């Protein structure tokens, strides 16, 4: 069973969210990286870009395919992880740590309620 | 979806199964990178039972095949094979394949899984209008036949243990390991007979084993057991694609199709213009003499970028830059650590060193035309 940390929130499209005040850090889950296998390229949004929840804002490429990443929340991109661009394999080895993708300044905290908790996400991926 | 005799084996090994040309096949077992590296460094085992096998025999077989295929079968001694193509009257490729001469008047064609129906239909129609058709027997044995490919620098270390010789058909050899590249021989095994050729689709040394369907699982298991100490891993279609792309081997439906000629694809070497007439010869000869509108080139990404993928537009650079062609195969090369692809461009842009751009999700990234292949195995 994939690792699903209890201190995170999740989107149905397999992004995870770590909240720190009004900044959310976003990446993809252990389940997602396992499905993708070897990540060879990550394309991240520009810092300063304003996005809405559900917008495609990043791309993760494995050997075989390119997958869109959807922003779980609305807000402004404050940081993009240069480490994961330089070393895409971090997505596979550290999906919740150094393999994070970007940070958003949260525009609408109500949107957090629409995200899944760890148990809900676990249920979703075990049914998959 | 169709299943090969190894479907249960793929499930047991935890293969991630996908649909490929109507077949349910493993794209990988662990990961594409992992399996690709295994083939380059040690050995990998592929199920290729979905491919087709056609037997053609009789006094008219050589003449029939030589007018239907582009390469010259007369070059083949019994126990030898050659890469060749079937073309239509426009010189377009119906399929690319291997033709083996098993015995004096006996030939085996190994054809692409996705083209079994197209090829057998085409061969039947060609045979129907062949003047000496009563001297040719054509049999599609694909459903009854399976095959595996074992590829990598360490295969030679365990292949003889797996299939003890000597051969009893095709090339006369005391052991499988004595087969030279493109040679094929028959070996008694497991109470029956199997054919083994020293061929492959990865750019590494290796063998392909063709066996009756009911024997394939035993062949697979024996290879896995004997190869394990040398690092043999099962490998799926994902690695098969990255390996062949690095070797610049065409894949039907990508580099080749019914509207693309072998000359455009850079395969003139496998078209024998001096053997007499064959289907497509006039157009191919004209292209060889006068040139073509497009040529297949190997492209390597020149900057850090996402890999090229089939369908991405290729652009010229500089003032007046415009879209000039498209990528037909592309991937991140595990060996080169860069994006690589094959694509068609006008001949003016086909020289090695030409700087081009590939459009990836609306942005153009720098690429350079490089000589083929991207990878050549060390001597």
Please report the pLDDT score of residue B269 as a whole number. 98
CATH (residue range A9-108)? 2.40.50.100
Domain-wise residue ranges, chain A: 9-108
| Chain A interface includes B362 (CB < 8 A) | no
Give the span between the Cα atoms of B254 and B115, in whole angstroms.
13
| Chain B interface includes A68 (CB < 8 A) | no
| Chain A interface includes B154 (CB < 8 A) | no
Mutant choice from B35, B307, B358 vs A, greatest count of A C-beta within 10 A: B307
- What are the pLDDT digits (tens) for A46-59? 999 999 999 999 99
> Which regions of chain B carry the CATH code 3.30.1360.120?
1-292
Q: How far is A82 from chain B (nearest CA, A)?
A: 13
Is B1-292 CATH 1.10.3680.10?
Answer: no
CATH (residue range B293-379)? 2.40.30.110
Number of other residues whose CB lies within 10 A of the CB of residue B63: 18
Answer yes or no: is pLDDT of A39 > 90.
yes
Asked whether the ipTM of the predicted complex exceeds the cut of 0.95, the reply is no
Q: Which residues of B fall within a CB distance of 8 Å from A37?
A: 28, 31-33
Q: How far is A41 from chain B (nearest CA, A)?
A: 6
Q: Mean of the pLDDT values across residues B249-268?
A: 98
- What are the pLDDT digits (tens) for A87-119? 999 999 999 999 999 999 999 999 999 999 999
User: Shortest CB distance from B32 goes to which of A41, A59, A64?
Assistant: A64
| Chain A interface includes B333 (CB < 8 A) | no
| Chain A interface includes B32 (CB < 8 A) | yes
Identify the DSSP state of B171.
S
Confidence of residue A1 (pLDDT cuts 50, 70, 90): confident
Answer yes or no: is pLDDT of B379 > 90.
no
- What are the pLDDT digits (tens) for B95-112? 999 999 999 999 999 999
| Chain B interface includes A87 (CB < 8 A) | no
Answer yes or no: is pLDDT of B291 > 90.
yes
- What are the pLDDT digits (tens) for B164-196? 999 999 999 999 999 999 999 999 999 999 999
User: Shortest CB distance from A63 goes to which of B238, B305, B361?
Assistant: B238
Give the span between the Cα atoms of A82 and A118, in whole angstroms.
27
> Which regions of chain B carry the CATH code 2.40.30.110?
293-379
Average of per-residue pLDDT values in chain B: 97
User: Shortest CB distance from B306 goes to which of A37, A38, A43?
Assistant: A43
Please report the pLDDT score of residue A128 as a whole number. 57
Please report the pLDDT score of residue B349 as a whole number. 98
Please report the pLDDT score of residue B261 as a whole number. 98
- What are the pLDDT digits (tens) for B13-64? 999 999 998 999 999 999 999 999 999 999 999 999 999 999 999 999 999 9
Q: What is the DSSP string of A63-121?
A: SS-EEEEE-SS-EEEEEE-HHHHH-TTHHHH-TTTTT--EEEEES-GGGGGGSBPHHHH
Closest CA to B344 of B299, B284, B303: B299
Q: Mean of the pLDDT values across residues B217-237?
A: 98
């Amino acid at each position: 069973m994939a690792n699903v940390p209890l201190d995170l929130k999740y989107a149905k499209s397999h992004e995870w969210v770590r909240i720190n005040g009004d900044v959310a850090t976003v990446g993809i889950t252990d389940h997602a990286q396992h499905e993708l296998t070897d990540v060879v390229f990550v394309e991240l949004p520009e810092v300063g870009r304003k996005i809405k929840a559900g917008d495609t804002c990043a791309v993760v490429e494995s050997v075989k395919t390119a997958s869109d990443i959807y922003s779980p929340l609305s807000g402004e991109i404050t940081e993009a992880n240069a480490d994961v661009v330089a070393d895409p394999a971090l997505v596979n080895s550290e999906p919740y740590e150094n393999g994070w993708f970007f940070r958003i300044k949260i525009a609408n905290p109500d949107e957090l309620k629409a995200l899944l908790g760890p148990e809900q996400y676990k249920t979703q991926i075990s049914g998959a | 979806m169709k299943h090969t005799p190894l479907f249960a084996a793929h499930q047991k090994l935890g293969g991630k199964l996908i649909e490929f040309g109507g077949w349910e096949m493993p794209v990988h077992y662990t990961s594409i990178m992992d399996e690709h590296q295994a083939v380059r460094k040690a050995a990998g085992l592929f199920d290729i039972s979905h491919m087709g096998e056609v037997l053609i025999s009789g006094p008219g077989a050589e003449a029939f095949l030589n007018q239907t295929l582009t390469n010259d079968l007369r070059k083949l001694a019994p126990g030898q094979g050659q890469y060749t193509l079937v073309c239509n009257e426009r010189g377009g490729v119906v399929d690319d394949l291997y033709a083996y001469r098993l015995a004096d008047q006996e030939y085996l064609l190994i054809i692409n899984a996705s083209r079994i129906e197209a090829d057998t239909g085409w061969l039947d129609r060609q045979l129907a209008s062949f003047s000496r058709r009563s001297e040719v027997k054509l049999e599609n044995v694909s459903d009854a036949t399976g095959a595996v490919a074992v590829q990598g620098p360490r295969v030679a270390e365990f292949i003889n243990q797996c299939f003890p010789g000597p051969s009893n058909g095709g090339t006369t050899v005391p052991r499988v390991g004595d087969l030279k590249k493109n040679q094929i021989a028959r070996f008694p095994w497991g109470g029956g007979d199997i054919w083994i050729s020293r061929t492959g689709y990865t750019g590494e040394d290796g063998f392909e084993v063709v066996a009756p369907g009911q024997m394939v699982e035993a062949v697979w298991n024996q290879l896995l057991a004997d190869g394990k100490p040398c690092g043999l891993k099962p490998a799926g279609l994902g690695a098969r694609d990255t390996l062949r792309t690095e070797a610049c081997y065409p894949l039907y439906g990508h580099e080749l199709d019914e509207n693309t000629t072998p000359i455009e694809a850079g395969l003139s070497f496998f078209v024998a213009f001096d053997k007499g007439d064959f289907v497509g010869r006039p157009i191919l000869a004209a292209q060889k003499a006068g040139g073509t509108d497009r040529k297949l080139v190997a492209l390597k990404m020149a900057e850090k970028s996402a890999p090229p993928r089939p369908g991405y537009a290729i652009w010229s650079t500089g003032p007046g830059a415009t879209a000039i062609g498209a990528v037909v195969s592309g991937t991140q090369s595990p060996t080169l650590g860069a994006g690589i692809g094959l694509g068609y461009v006008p001949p003016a842009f086909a020289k090695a060193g030409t700087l081009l751009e590939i459009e990836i999700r609306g942005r153009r990234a720098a690429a350079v035309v490089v000589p083929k292949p991207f990878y050549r195995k060390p001597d």
